[in-house]
Structure 1
Amino acid sequence: MVSISMENPLIYLEKRANDNWLIGYDSRKFTLLAQQLYLELTQNANLKTPLKILIAERQPIKLLASFIAATAANCHVFLCNPDSVKAEWEQVFNLVQPDLIWGDLAEIDYRKTPITATASIPNYPSSLIMIPTGGSSGKIRFAMHTWESLMASVIGFQQYFNLEQVNSFCILPLYHVSGLMQFMRSFSSGGKLAVSTLKLLENGEKYDIEPAEFFISLVPTQLQRLLQKPDLTTWLSRFQTTLLGGAPAWLELLETSRNYGIRLAPTYGMTETASQIATLKPEAFLAGNNTSGQILPHAKVIIKGENGEILGRNQTGFINIKADSLTVGYYPEFFANKEEFQLDDVGYIDENGYLKIVGRNSNKIITGGENVFPNEVEAAIISTQMVEDVCVIGLPDSQWGEIVTAIYVPKIPDINIDDLKIAIEDKLSKFKYPKKWIAVENLPRNAQGKINRKLLIEGTLLRFSALL
């Protein structure tokens, strides 16, 4: 039975003070830096309102120590991508107007950034942790979390996998929920944390760890790249669990992972829920299950129809979430209804309690009165093994309303499009076939593997309007 606690950051910091738990880094240095930063903040904390601290550190030790110190000092913490471009920083500065910046942003003078709005500070009794989320829209916003909501996610994870300690191998960004929660699980549970990058792994630089004792978290594009190298495939197959999330995985990727014995655990979650609220256990995956798994103990998923009615098992509808790990809003506004979060995603829960995601309602293509979800069409095209990447969108059409359009990266430059069309004939209903095929060199994916559909659609429309 897992023992559960939800103490404040300083208590955990004290417990880990003498542990050598940060693999590849000096754990003691992390503790001393966090304590030093905390003292600096509390000694100068004669303010009526919490400080707004923007953290944009590239160095993992500095980022994590800054996060713990600022959270413990009841500051409002904003985690940011240190590699953001100037236009993105202008969005952030305009929204946040930080009191303090920790990180190397010397190339941008944020005090000269034009301010067009006044950012209010939420009235909240403790530290708010702002985690960036842009989804596939490209617009930066921050989901507001608390230490308690992040810990609720940790506890749900421990209960689901029946673990006291969680050891994590992290190659995802620590400023993103996918990386931050790996730190939270290891830091608070007494586990070990290894921080690396995909590039280092591909260059053969791996820590001397026993993978069977670790969780590793990947997005589909990372998993695909690792499976292209036999030595990394063998190494990955030794992990206790490989969590997979961030974007929908295609069927071929799942089958390849299964054939190599990868203990894959596809997940469903988001920044707003502090990572996964559903996860498929590796044993079920290896047995042939391709769902997003069962719901974690700290969350509840309710499937509703278009009129808000609650649907039963195997009935497809909108996904609504109740969770202890749920965000309280998007900075600087709190949700009016904090009890339930309605998503744009469409799916169902089967008779065994497994969650199946059908697609995103806003991405749904209505062609000739029929509904087409891009995920299904993309999976069929990827399974042909004739393309490296693909995104299916709907383009306006006077006859059909919208036409299904496949924008793809071919595996070979002179691919025969007729062969590709024939290869999907037995995989999709005819109305789901793409009527237009566009070959490109690459697709606009972010670090988590999500495609910026808005940018892709706008670019495609612009391209075709120029040809008219």
Structure 2
Amino acid sequence: MRNNIGLFLGKRAHLNPDMEAIVDTATERRLSYRELDLRANKLANAMRDSGVKKGDRVAILMMNGIEYVESFMGLAKIGAIVVPLNWRLVADELSFILKDAGATVMVYGSDFADVIGTLHEGGAAATQIGQWIEFCEDGHDRDLFATDYMEFTGPASDAGPEIDAGDDDDLFIMYTSGTTGLPKGAQHSHNTAMWAIITFSITAEFRYKDRFAIALPMFHVGALLPVIVTFYIGGTAILMRQFDPKQMWEITEREKLTVNLAVPAMLNFMLMVPEFEKYDYSHLRWIMSGASPVPASLIESYKDIGIEVHQVYGLTEACGPGTLISPDDAMVRIGSAGKAFFHTTVRVVDDDGKDTAPGVPGELLVQSAHVMKGYWNNPEATAETIRDGWLHTGDIAIQDKDGFITIHDRVKDMIISGGENVYPAELENVITSHPGVADVAVIGMDSERWGESPFAVVVRKDEDLTETDILRHCDGKLARFKLPKGAVFIDEIPRNPTGKPLKRLLRDQFPGPAPE
């Protein structure tokens, strides 16, 4: 039988049919593995009956929930390629991704009817979508051009579909913005996902019957992968629509969470909840935290209340796993991102591609069977990123004499704000379109709330240009998390001889904290 990620659900349903598979905290629905697998089968058969074939791209624009999970697993079973969409993006950004991926079917939640309406009105210029499937809730009327999700799946068989896809066939394309400002689709197969799931399960020490909260949106590999890992090890995925710090403590107690995943900003917000100590979190073994370096002070704060925080380093191009600090080392090597995952190899190299000596900064490279096949429809970016079998992360790291990795900086100047990737070039393109701007460089400024926030350093063409003018110009052109928190004006952007802005100097000059 071919390795097919969708079959993980069926296999777990066979082994533990009555075990609780998933909890949708927004709707208070709970499904067993048998129930969830049958629903995924109905979705798979409905898609196949409607003409969706192996290799067709199907986009999903939904909040975390049962329908998202069953759609992903059902599509995996029939060999369709899932394109998870970031619901924070505006219509133009989504349009680029949909056209680049060649998606022909859209599954969406009624929460996003407005942006979907804009895309639909744009016709062929906006998307190639020919079939719109809407999951309606809270009394929302179905869009006239869409098929109701429940009516779509209702008549379909709940028998397991015939499996003719898997192994090196594509499973999903997850888009991440590039330094040019244009999104790139990391292309993962059933095999790359399988190896990521296996190494994640082994290295992170997941256990049978673990209960894992998923508060990060599932358009992130850091949320999608843990859901499938939970099915693989035989646990329960507790889904939250959006992160809420007070609700997270409540869910930790009520659902008896054993493991959790949170970006540093989320950990900060949880500690700000009044009287959080009153909640019972005694069953929580650890919280894994990544997306940006975890401050030592934050790890210490959680250590003081008896919770271990394990720093993880991962990236979409590796289907998640990169490095992880083990439980034994987490409390004595605070700030380290640990060592490579079990089925993963890492190196730190200099500009000539030679391994650096211990303690010397260099670029972090990753090699594994879970590294992406490449960037969808972008051979140039693929060739630049994967060279000689190694994934070039663009991140600067230091490896000590014992092999522990510390993430030091980012070659590509990416900003991570509240767990979301913000690429300066994308924002710079918007700002320079203002007629009063002569030059601009966007940097990440320290933020107590978000870890980092985008901040614009601008050279004025028009002396009457104000910070308010800059902020208003950006508003509505990009997702809100990408918008600058502020702007400052200088006479000249410092640049090296090749014309590249010296953003390190700007970060030193404007360290923050950013306006909140």
2:11 matched to 1:9? no
Matches within 5 A, 1:39-58: 39-45=45-51, 50-58=55-63
- Alpha carbons of 1:83 and 1:258: their partners in 2 closer, same or farther (altered >3 Å)? same
Counterparts of 1:128 and 1:338, CA distance in 2: 24
Equivalent residues of 2:265, 2:451 under 8 A apart: no
Please report how far the alpha carbon of residue 305 of structure 1 lies from its aligned counterpart in structure 2 after TM superposition. Answer: 0.9
Instruction: Determine which of 178, 194, 206 is the counterpart of 2:222.
Output: 178
Q: Which digits, 9 at most, give the CA deviation of each residue in 1:114-134, with x for residues without a partner?
A: 638999xxxx96233112323
2:422 matched to 1:354? no
SS at match of 1:326: coil
- Alpha carbons of 1:357 and 1:237: their partners in 2 closer, same or farther (altered >3 Å)? farther
2:118 matched to 1:108? yes
SS at match of 1:128: strand
For structure 1, the residue ranges without an aligned partner over 5 or more in a row are: 365-373, 398-407, 411-430, 443-468
- Alpha carbons of 1:264 and 1:9: their partners in 2 closer, same or farther (altered >3 Å)? same
Q: Which digits, 9 at most, give the CA deviation of each residue in 1:32-76, with x for residues without a partner?
A: 2211111123345586x6221111123511111110111111112
Matches within 5 A, 1:7-156: 8-16=5-13, 17-24=17-24, 25-28=29-32, 29-45=35-51, 50-58=55-63, 60-104=65-109, 105=113, 106-110=116-120, 112-113=122-123, 115=125, 126-134=169-177, 139-156=182-199
- Could you tell me which residue of structure 2 aligns to residue 321 of structure 1? 366
Equivalent residues of 1:50, 1:75 under 8 A apart: yes
Segment drifting more, 388-397 vs 300-309: 388-397
Equivalent residues of 1:131, 1:143 under 8 A apart: yes
For structure 2, the residue ranges without an aligned partner over 5 or more in a row are: 130-166, 415-442, 460-483, 487-504
SS at match of 1:78: strand
Equivalent residues of 1:409, 1:439 under 8 A apart: no
- Could you tell me which residue of structure 2 aligns to residue 295 of structure 1? 340
- Alpha carbons of 1:127 and 1:41: their partners in 2 closer, same or farther (altered >3 Å)? farther
Instruction: Determine which of 206, 212, 222 is the counterpart of 1:168.
Output: 212
Q: Which digits, 9 at most, give the CA deviation of each residue in 1:389-439, with x for residues without a partner?
A: 656989699xxxxxxxxxx999xxxxxxxxxxxxxxxxxxxx999444666
Alignment length, in residue pairs? Answer: 385
What is the Cα-based RMSD across aligned positions, in Å? 3.6
Please report how far the alpha carbon of residue 229 of structure 1 lies from its aligned counterpart in structure 2 after TM superposition. Answer: 2.0
Please report how far the alpha carbon of residue 273 of structure 1 lies from its aligned counterpart in structure 2 after TM superposition. Answer: 1.0
- Alpha carbons of 1:304 and 1:195: their partners in 2 closer, same or farther (altered >3 Å)? same
Equivalent residues of 2:227, 2:237 under 8 A apart: yes
- Could you tell me which residue of structure 1 aligns to residue 290 of structure 2? 245
Equivalent residues of 1:82, 1:103 under 8 A apart: no
Equivalent residues of 1:151, 1:184 under 8 A apart: no
Specify the code of the residue in structure 2 equivalent to 1:441.
P
- Alpha carbons of 1:438 and 1:347: their partners in 2 closer, same or farther (altered >3 Å)? closer
TM-score under structure 2 normalisation? 0.65
The alignment-based identity, stated in percent, is: 16
- Alpha carbons of 1:244 and 1:94: their partners in 2 closer, same or farther (altered >3 Å)? same
